[in-house]
């Protein structure tokens, strides 16, 4: 680990000023991702600005009737917040599907957006990686890529964004509130993360000195028919091979409104509006779900070890939509009940 | 009623309080004064030569004490034999920091010593090293036709027996036949505690070494031979070990580095490895197996052929017994067992829990399931029909073998009779349910072992033996044995281990510790008991005057006459009456070679597993496992059960998750951390039932113990894979049974 200095931020604009004045500055929130990356010598900040002192920890209603999650609200406090549980249970489910209780107690909602990929090569300084060292090459293409992306990849990078929370935020049409040198702005969640293209070193579209202050959830009701389905190599404490956030509004058996986003398959949470449109106005049947699933994956590309994800994602979409339509939870719930 | 009968009673760990309060210290926790810290630099390339180490840049950093590499390591022992530890396989052991050659990826190439750990790590990250890269070969698949039969093995390795009968002919004529290839990749031990050594410099080349190891004497031997130290100058201490599973059977390179740095800098030094570096040494080897079985019309085995090929390094021929068990577990007159190695640019594999047998039983027991289906027999019935009453490999009777009872008791507990054999026939809601079984056989070994026991005038018994407790419960069972032998309460016995100044004990491995240390302590306590009896007989009015040792019992703090237990002497009174301050016996127990010559000494188990599989998503839950074990006398059902529970969890892990994946382009393991090398979490583990069937054995050793560290793992992976077949109709012969294989 490099040596670095450490200061506490006093105000949002002061934090932004500190960061824009010095390339070596990194904000630290829960530290659950940043510190690991520093120990691995992948992130090498010369100065840490601790933003935990900023007054961004609350979860409040917005004037439009939605909910505002402060950037420094912890993942645990968010998942268990009564309003989130009641109105945005998809988000609660997604958060609780990730990491461990200890980590969720430390991890912040803002930090979760910025967590970096879990690509093996990104983590191993002995191997080339365009994301870590632009221009050095992508070792995962042609290498071991079991956990890698099948959608929106480029010749430069096939890494995935590992977050669970962000998949639900994408499905729920969240907005990110950001403050930079030129003041405040909002970013649609779909525009927050980016595809790798030929610049995989950039995970998102923010300017380096911008800070996330809050995440807004719109005043929409997906509290009845939703499902967050996460498939992984063990039952807990593993990143998603494929995850699906599905949310529906039904009128009888007809789909009025649909949301569909995938995790573990792309460089960003993969929301597919075209597939959502295929669902709208259709009966909530397996047939409909299959059509949507096929549409999401129609341009998918496997790289060898991860090719199974294409079929897995299709099946996961169908299952998640089915669970959403039936108002039942994750598949393992049923199993848990049969084995107390 | 006797209250000092401890053997066979569930007893909580005597060291439990020390462990949960943090009083138990591990190798990296001894904070000796003026300690310097080392951080190991690992090679990024798999093969080649170091052309330059830019060490001066790093030495210039304030607080950095030294950078050691092949460029400045002083000349050390010359001959290979100096680097050979107790379980070194044939070949030339790897010598850390000696020579510019890189033989495998993650090879330690330098160690940076600094005033703090953080500084050492930082400085190590700046160390520039130039390499000449050479082409490497790390892929066992490319060596399928390049295997060789090892001529030299390591201790405990038995070359496969010569073919018996006429296997080729018998296979040709068999009524039913199956054949298959079974594969698992490399697996790493990953005990919780990382390897670490703290070397305390006591001046004048005298060292006290706290090492993470499964054998303090093995580490001492290595250090004294490599660095030319006397045993008095290299005391090795290892009081607690946070798991070993075989990884601590050989001294790891951090020991070499810490001793080197301490001697050179004349200072206390600690070197600990990182989790990533836990993937830089021994491992269960990537193994390809081929099994071919044939049966007669009545379902008896007509022929069996089992072949294994696994990797080893370029410099040592690591061997383990993979195929031999297949000639022993079932009755079969036509058997061919073959075993080969292939050299790759990797580090030498190393014993990992039930080495060889975990691998072999995975293949054989899936093949047996396939054969049962081919022959139209229930897998349990098929095994019973082929029950081996005699060890056909060695052509000897078993000293005891209660595998049949394992089958029956395990099946009854599991409810096996309710199984519908048809694949995909059983369901729980939407989930497919599968039931499978397996099992295995493992050596009941014993090694020479010394112990010393001292009874003090106040009635306290100190038991000393330089064994290791790697978390298995050695502290507790030895305390139980000593207390019961001399009729003392548990609290009156203290067992001290893990120190080379104690009487010598063997490495903690091969499931022989309970038998070796247990029988040594029992024998030594009996000798002390005889002396004590003599003293008791001299007491005024002693009721024991004419008694021989066989005539008395040591119970409840008393020596009593068997014939009339009211006639007794209180043990605490004996030494004061005799005027002795203490009574000591030191003794070395030698295993009885006679029973080893006349009998086959083995433990057995039978495993039954249930899985529930989501038919569309391919997710598998191992919902139930019953493991019935026949391992002689069970000293402590509580710690014994923990051993088998741990084995089952390990088996679930082996079946469902574990694989160290090599990127052959780099010749490097890529998932070298616990985030991507998966082992189960609590949510993956459900009902586990452990059964110990009664097995009395007066031949295996005086206490009748067979050891439990390994047998519980056998057949678990196969039972699960067989259950997955039963649930889904998909035969997976390639571990782990991951989600992608079930789509
Ligand atoms: C073992 C392990 C398992 C995990 N498993 C999962 C999982 O299954 N699913 C999942 O979704 N996640 C998982 N995580 C990731 C975890 O969710 C993230 O590490 C966490 O959300 C990051 O939040 P943090 O507050 O700790 O961020 P930090 O580590 O403090 O920061 C991360 C990055 O974000 C930047 N940053 C933080 N806050 C702001 C802000 N307000 N504005 C601008 N920049 C900011 C920091 O500068 C830094 O670069 C796991 C993590 C670990 C260590
Ligand atoms: S996939 Fe992306 S992160 Fe991984 S090696 Fe390639 S460039 Fe690096």
pLDDT tens track for B347-357: 999 999 999 99
What is the Å distance from ligand 1's center to A104 Cα? 9
pLDDT confidence tier of residue B153, bands split at 50, 70 and 90: confident
Within 8 A of A308 by CB-CB distance, chain B residues are 739-740, 743
Average pLDDT of the residues in B145-153: 90
Token couple for A130:
């365009």
Closest ligand to the CA of A140: 2
Question: How far does residue A320's CA lie from ligand 2's centre (Å)?
Answer: 29
User: Which residues in chain A are closer than 8 Å to B739, comparing Cβ atoms?
Assistant: 231, 233, 241, 308, 312
- In tens, the pLDDT along B259-297 reads 999 999 999 999 999 999 999 999 999 999 999 999 999
What residue ranges define each of the domains in chain B, with the CATH number in brackets? 32-135+191-274 (3.90.1170.50), 143-187+283-445+597-742 (3.30.365.10), 447-590 (3.30.365.10)
Instruction: Name the minimum distance, in Å, from the CA of B684 to any CA of chain A.
Output: 6
Given a cut of 80, whether residue A250 has pLDDT beyond it is yes
B597 touches chain A (CB under 8 A): no
Cβ A144–B614 below 8 Å, yes or no?
no
Half-sphere CA count of B649, side-chain side, radius 13 A: 15
**Residue A266 beta carbon below 6 angstroms from any ligand 2 atom:** no
Q: Which of A3, A121, A235 is opposite residue B122, by nearest beta carbon?
A: A3
At residue B156, the pLDDT reads 86
Cβ-defined contact of A312 to B681 (cutoff 8 Å)? no
Cα–Cα distance measured from residue A196 to residue A266, given in angstroms and rounded to the nearest whole number: 9
In whole numbers, what is the pLDDT of chain B averaged over residues? 97
- Is the minimum distance from the CB of A147 to ligand 2 under 6 angstroms? no
Confidence of residue A331 (pLDDT cuts 50, 70, 90): very low
* Residue B109, H or E segment: strand B108-114
What was the pLDDT predicted at B527?
A: 98
**Ligand 2 centroid vs A141 CA: distance in angstroms?**
8
The number of residues in chain B equals: 743
Q: How many residues does chain A have?
A: 340
Nearest to B245 by CA among B602, B647, B517: B647
Condensed to tens digits (0 to 9), the pLDDT of residues B538-559 reads 999 999 999 999 999 999 999 9
Cβ–Cβ below 8 Å for B618 and A319: no
Q: Is any atom of ligand 1 closer than 6 Å to the C-beta of B75?
A: no
Q: Residue A96: is its pLDDT beyond 80?
A: yes
Q: Per-residue confidence at A1, pLDDT binned at 50, 70, 90?
A: low
pLDDT tens digits along B187-208: 999 999 999 999 999 999 999 9
Q: Whose CA is nearest to atom 2 of ligand 1?
A: A99
ipTM of model over 0.90: yes
Per-residue model confidence (pLDDT) at position B594: 86
Ligand 1: does its nearest atom lie under 6 Å from the Cβ of A211?
yes
**B343, β-bridge pairs:** B312
Q: Which CATH superfamily is domain A225-326 in?
A: CO dehydrogenase flavoprotein, C-terminal domain (3.30.390.50)
Tokens 């000798």: give the residue: B527
Residues in chain B closer than 8 A to A338 (CB atoms): 428-429
Residue in A closest to B623 by C-alpha: A339
User: Which residue in the set A41, A239, A312 is minimally distant from B125, CB to CB?
Assistant: A41
A111 in ligand 1 pocket by Cβ < 6 Å? yes
Closest of B9, B26, B23 to residue B471, by C-alpha: B26
Span B493-516, pLDDT tens digits: 999 999 999 999 999 988 899 999
Alpha helices by DSSP H, listed for B75-206, are 117-126, 167-173
pLDDT for A336 equals: 41
* Fold of the domain spanning A5-52: 3.30.43
Q: Which residue is associated with the tokens 């549980």?
A: A85
Q: Is the pTM above the cut of 0.90? A: yes
Position A330 scores a pLDDT of 47
Cis amide leading into B240 (omega within 30) = no
Residue A32 clears pLDDT 60, i.e. is over it:
yes
Half-sphere CA count of B635, side-chain side, radius 13 A: 32
Confidence bin at A335 (pLDDT 50/70/90): very low
Name the 3-class secondary structure at B152: coil
Residues forming CATH 3.30.390.50 domain(s) in chain A: 225-326
**Res. A333: pLDDT tops 80:** no
The tokens for B368 are 């047996």
Any A CB within 8 A of B60 CB = no
Residue A337 pLDDT > 50 = no
Residues of B annotated as catalytic are: 710
Q: What's the pLDDT tens digit per position in B24-83?
A: 999 999 999 999 999 999 999 999 999 999 999 999 999 999 999 999 999 999 999 999
Query: Measured between CB atoms, does B1 come within 8 Å of chain A?
Result: no
Report whether pLDDT(A252) > 60: yes
Q: What is the rounded average pLDDT of the residues B667-684?
A: 97
- Strand pairing partners for B571? none
Contact B661 A146 (CB under 8 A): yes
The structure tokens listed for B408 are: 């029956």
Maximum CA pair distance of chain A? 61
Q: Is 90 exceeded by the pLDDT of residue B3?
A: no
pLDDT for B551 equals 97
H or E element, residue B91: strand B90-91
The pLDDT assigned to B668 comes to 98
Phi, psi of A113 (to 5 degrees): -65, -30
Q: Where in chain A is the domain with CATH 3.30.43.10?
A: 5-52
What's the token pair of residue B146?
A: 């390049």
């Amino acid at each position: 680990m490099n040596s670095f200095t450490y200061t506490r931020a006093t105000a949002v604009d002061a934090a932004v000023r500190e960061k824009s004045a010095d390339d070596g500055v990194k904000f630290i929130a829960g530290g659950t991702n940043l510190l690991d990356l520093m120990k691995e010598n992948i992130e090498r900040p010369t100065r840490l600005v601790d933003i935990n002192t900023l007054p961004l920890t609350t979860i409040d209603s917005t004037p439009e009737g939605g909910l505002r999650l402060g950037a420094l609200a912890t993942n645990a406090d968010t998942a268990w917040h009564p309003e989130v549980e009641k109105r945005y249970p998809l988000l609660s489910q997604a958060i609780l599907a990730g990491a461990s209780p200890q980590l969720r107690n430390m991890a912040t909602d803002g930090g979760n957006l910025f967590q970096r990929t879990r690509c093996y090569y990104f983590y191993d300084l002995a191997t080339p990686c365009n994301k870590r060292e632009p221009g050095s090459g992508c070792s995962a293409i042609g290498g071991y890529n079991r956990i890698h992306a099948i959608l929106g990849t480029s010749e430069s990078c096939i890494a995935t964004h590992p977050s669970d929370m962000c998949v639900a935020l994408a499905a729920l049409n969240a907005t990110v509130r950001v403050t930079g040198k030129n003041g405040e702005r909002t970013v649609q969640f779909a525009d927050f993360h980016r595809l790798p293209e030929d610049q995989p070193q950039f995970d998102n579209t923010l300017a380096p000195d911008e800070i996330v202050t809050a995440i807004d959830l719109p005043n929409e009701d997906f509290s009845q028919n939703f499902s967050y389905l996460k498939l992984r190599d063990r039952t807990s404490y593993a990143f998603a091979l494929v995850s699906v956030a599905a949310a529906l509004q039904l009128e009888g058996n007809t789909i009025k409104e649909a949301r569909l986003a995938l995790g573990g398959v792309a460089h960003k949470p993969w929301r597919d509006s075209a597939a959502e449109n295929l669902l709208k106005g259709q009966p909530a049947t397996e047939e409909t779900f299959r059509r949507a699933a096929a549409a999401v994956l129609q341009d998918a590309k496997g790289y060898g070890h991860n090719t199974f994800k294409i079929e897995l994602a299709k099946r996961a979409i169908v299952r998640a939509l089915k669970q959403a339509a039936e108002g039942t939870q994750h598949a393992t719930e049923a199993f848990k009940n049969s084995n107390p | 009623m006797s209250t000092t009968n401890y053997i066979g009673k569930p007893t909580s760990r005597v060291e439990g309080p020390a462990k949960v309060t943090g009083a138990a210290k591990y190798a990296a926790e001894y904070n000796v004064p003026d300690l310097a810290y080392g951080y190991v630099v690992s090679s990024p390339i798999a093969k080649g030569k170091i052309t330059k180490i830019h060490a001066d840049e790093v030495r210039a950093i304030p607080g950095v004490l030294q950078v050691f590499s092949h460029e400045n390591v002083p000349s050390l022992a010359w001959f290979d034999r100096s680097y050979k530890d107790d379980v070194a396989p044939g070949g030339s052991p790897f010598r850390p920091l000696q020579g510019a050659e890189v033989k495998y990826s993650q090879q330690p190439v330098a160690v940076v010593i600094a005033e703090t750990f953080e500084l050492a790590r930082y400085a190590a990250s700046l160390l520039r090293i130039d390499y000449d890269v050479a082409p490497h070969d790390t892929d066992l698949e490319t060596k399928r036709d390049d295997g060789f039969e090892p001529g030299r093995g390591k201790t405990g390795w038995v070359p496969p027996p010569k073919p018996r009968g006429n296997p080729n002919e018998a296979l040709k004529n068999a009524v039913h036949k199956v054949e298959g290839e079974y594969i698992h990749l490399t697996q790493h031990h990953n005990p919780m505690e990382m390897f670490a050594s703290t070397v305390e410099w006591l001046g004048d080349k005298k060292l006290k070494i706290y090492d993470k190891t499964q054998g303090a004497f093995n580490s001492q031997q290595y250090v004294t031979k490599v660095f030319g130290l006397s045993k008095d100058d290299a005391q090795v201490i290892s009081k607690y070990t946070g798991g070993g599973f075989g990884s601590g059977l050989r001294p790891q390179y951090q020991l070499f580095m810490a001793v080197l740095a301490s001697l050179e800098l004349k200072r206390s030094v600690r070197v600990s490895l990182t989790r990533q570096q836990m993937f830089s040494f021994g491992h269960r080897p990537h193994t390809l197996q081929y099994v071919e079985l044939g049966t007669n019309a009545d379902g008896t085995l007509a022929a069996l052929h089992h072949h294994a090929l696994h990797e080893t390094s370029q410099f040592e021929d690591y061997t383990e017994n993979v195929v031999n068990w297949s000639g022993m577990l079932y009755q079969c007159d036509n058997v061919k067992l073959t075993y080969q190695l292939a050299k790759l640019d990797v580090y030498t594999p190393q014993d990992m829990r039930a080495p060889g047998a975990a691998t072999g039983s995975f293949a054989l027991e899936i093949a047996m399931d396939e054969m049962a289906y081919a022959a139209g027999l229930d897998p349990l019935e098929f095994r019973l029909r082929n029950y081996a009453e005699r060890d056909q490999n060695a052509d000897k009777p078993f000293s005891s073998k209660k595998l049949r009872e394992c089958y029956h008791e395990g099946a009854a507990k599991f409810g096996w009779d309710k199984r519908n054999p048809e694949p995909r026939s059983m369901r729980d809601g939407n989930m497919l349910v599968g039931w499978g079984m397996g099992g295995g056989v493992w050596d009941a070994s014993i090694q020479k072992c010394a112990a010393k026991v001292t009874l003090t005038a106040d009635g306290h018994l100190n038991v000393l033996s330089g064994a290791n407790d790697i978390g298995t419960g050695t502290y507790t069972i030895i305390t139980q044995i000593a207390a019961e032998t001399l009729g003392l309460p548990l609290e009156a016995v203290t067992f001290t281990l893990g120190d080379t100044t104690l009487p010598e004990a063997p490495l903690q491995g091969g499931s022989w510790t309970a038998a070796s240390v247990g029988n040594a302590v029992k024998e030594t306590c009996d000798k002390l008991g005889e002396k004590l009896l003599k003293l008791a007989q001299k007491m005024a009015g002693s009721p024991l005057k004419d008694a021989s040792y066989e005539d008395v019992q040591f119970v409840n703090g008393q020596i009593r006459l068997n014939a009339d237990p009211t006639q007794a002497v209180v043990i605490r009174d004996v030494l004061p009456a005799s005027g002795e301050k203490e009574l000591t016996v030191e003794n070395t127990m030698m295993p009885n070679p006679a029973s080893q010559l006349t009998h086959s000494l083995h433990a057995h188990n039978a495993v039954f597993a249930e899985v529930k599989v989501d038919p569309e998503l391919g997710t598998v839950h191992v919902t139930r496992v019953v493991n019935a074990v026949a391992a002689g006398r069970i000293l402590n059902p509580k710690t014994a059960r923990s051993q088998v529970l741990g084995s089952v969890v390990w088996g679930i892990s082996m079946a469902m998750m574990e694989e160290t994946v090599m990127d052959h382009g780099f010749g490097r393991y890529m998932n070298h951390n616990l985030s991507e090398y998966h082992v189960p979490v609590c949510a993956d583990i459900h009902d586990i039932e452990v059964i110990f069937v009664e097995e009395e054995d007066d031949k295996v050793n005086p206490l009748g113990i067979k050891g439990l560290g390994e047998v519980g793992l056998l057949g678990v992976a196969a039972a699960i894979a067989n259950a997955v077949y039963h649930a889904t109709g998909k035969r997976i012969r390639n571990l782990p049974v991951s989600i992608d294989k079930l789509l």
